[in-house]
Chains A and B, each alone.
Chain A
Amino acid sequence: MEPELAVALPAAGAACATALRPRPRLALGLGALLGAGGVAAVILSAPGAASDLLGVTLSLSAPSRSMLIVAAGALAFVVILAPQNAERSTLLRWGLAGLAGMAAIAVAPTLDVSVMVLLALVLLQVAGQGRRPYARRLRAPALAVALLGLALLFARMPGPPALQKLGAVGLVAGLAAALGTLPYMHEFDPDEPTSTSPIPWIAFVGPLLAVVVLTRARELLPSAGGALGAMLIGLGLINIVWGCVASWRTELGAAAWRYSFTADWGLALCGFGLGVSEGQAGALLILYSILLGRLPLYLWSRQPLREKIQTDRPINLLVAAALAGSAPFAGFPARILVLRGATALYWPLALVIAATLLLWVPSSLRLGRTMGMPTGRQLAGIAVALALSVALGLYPQPLLSLAGQ
């Protein structure tokens, strides 16, 4: 019954935290307890083992399970060392709701149900109070749901192979629209609260959604696997170049962070598109580093960004090195794995990817400066994020084994 509990307990935690909003400490305690129960259910579940308790067959694949565990770790990390101006109970409430949705997407018996859960998550997120008008917040994620739905329909239609290829186009386009990468970048307001902004899609829900969609896509579109991989690689390269250059050149610091997520996603899409085990492992490592590194660092950069504080101290340079994927941080083995996968598939592609890796340097130096002069919880959080990145960079195998790699 672990898959059922993995969804129900975080959902109950989010509901409790919402109901107890006037009493933040109680909301935090109860939410954390139920959330921890949900994570325990995920950890105790056996990958691939089916549960039929509710009359619906639910199961959790190894990559989805690992992504859920890392996402829960990232949420706990961000709530414990929350930025000074962020209310912990609010962070936990939104995070648990997202985690419940992610667990439901992961355990769903079919991709159709996963897409339905995604639609429910979209509606819940836009129901919150954001700075952008409702219709504009809804547009991009709703387009993602529609494109994924059309892709599933085309994939099942009997007829010529072109229909399967149309299905592959829909899946890649839908995934890009859900994440908010090119060519469907979500509208971004730097002053909007993170919970109602596009950041949760690209940095929290997105990694698990991509793993679920791409794992099931290959079963759904057996004759269009090559087209799917080629589109992922092409889109990945465009996102790397656009994300790195825009992150370096854009005026607003918060927007630069958003573009940096896009660049990381570009590399992850390339890794998934390669279709070889090294590429998949590299892509998974990139996604882990987004959850455990880039997302928390972005949250801690928001206050210095508002105060327009930029410094060039050693901690800023360390953050820049971690974001750029230099050794010994997590981005380094991820890049090596993607390059090895590209070499195995088609060596000129490895040359192109290697050339684009240099683009991360100027944008990361810029983002490192936006951390300001961290003190207190922010400094502790940055230190933990860097330590986790080093641990993942030096010895990524435990997490990769968890994902079945």
Chain B
Amino acid sequence: MTEAAAFAAWLGGAIIVLADGRRGLALGLALMAASLAVATFMAGQQVGAAALLAGGIVGSALRYRSGPEGWGLMQPGSTPRIILTIVIGLLSLYLALSISTGDGGALRFAALASIALTSARLLQGADRAAALTAASALALALGAASAIAPAASLSACVAAGIVAAGASTLSVIEPSGA
């Protein structure tokens, strides 16, 4: 179950990297939120998982209502992005399972891959909708990463949920004159 959630978190991050339309971005955010919530829940952080799920669902619902039309998945010229998602997945797998040791490898992989993928999307110079979706997803990933240190995780997960939902309320329209 945890392994499937970790893979789904990577898939959600990959969709955020590959999508340009609001439907695709909302799907990626919802998938990542649900899978990170499952991974956090399995790590014993039930309340934290609920906060991540709530923040992610609100964020993806708001994103579904605003942004460029359609799915915008894998548009022409997105081959470098596809390669990037695969490379990040493999590197995260290596760091989380081979270099790092002990239990909780799936949560480590999910958090690492999600942070790396959403950061890559933010650095791509995307439009506002994609950048804000990536910021929401980054907040969720940071919240899930805090669950590796259980004592510290609840407040971080709640803050992550609030930031993830809040980022999606910001306007995606570029102010005139900017």
Contact = CB atoms under 8 A, between A and B. Distances in A.
Interface string B143-178: 101101100110110011001001100110011011
A228 interface: no
A119 B178 contact: no
Interface stretch (A8-16, A131-139, A234-242, A376-384): A131-139
A157 B123 contact: no
Contacts of B149: 156
B174 to A, nearest CB: 6
B99 A129 contact: no
B101 A159 contact: yes
22 contacts: A108-B155, A108-B159, A110-B146, A110-B156, A113-B159, A116-B143, A119-B135, A123-B132, A123-B167, A123-B170, A129-B177, A131-B178, A134-B174, A135-B131, A142-B119, A142-B122, A142-B123, A143-B119, A146-B115, A153-B145, A156-B145, A159-B102
Contacts of B139: 116, 119
Interface of B: 95-96, 99-102, 108, 111-112, 115-116, 118-119, 122-128, 131-132, 135, 138-139, 141-143, 145-146, 148-149, 152-153, 155-156, 159-160, 163, 166-167, 170-171, 174-175, 177-178
A146 B122 contact: yes
Contacts of B102: 158-159
Contacts of A130: 178
A153 B155 contact: no
B126 A115 contact: no
A127 interface: yes
Given A129-B175, A135-B125, A157-B100, 17 more contacts: A110-B155, A112-B146, A112-B159, A115-B142, A116-B139, A116-B142, A116-B143, A116-B156, A130-B178, A142-B122, A142-B138, A143-B119, A143-B122, A145-B142, A157-B99, A160-B99, A163-B100
Contacts of A117: 159
A252 interface: no
B142 A149 contact: yes
A56 B157 CA distance: 12
Interface residues of A, number: 38
Interface centre among B112, B116, B146 (most CB of A within 10 A): B146
Interface centre among B99, B156, B160, B175 (most CB of A within 10 A): B156
Tell me what chain B mostly uses at the interface: helix, strand, loop, or mixed: helix
Interface of A: 56, 108-110, 112-113, 115-117, 119-120, 122-123, 127, 129-131, 133-136, 138-139, 142-143, 145-146, 149-150, 152-153, 156-160, 162-163
A113 B151 CA distance: 13
Contacts of B170: 123, 127
Contact of A139 (B95, B116, B122): B122
B139 to A, nearest CB: 6
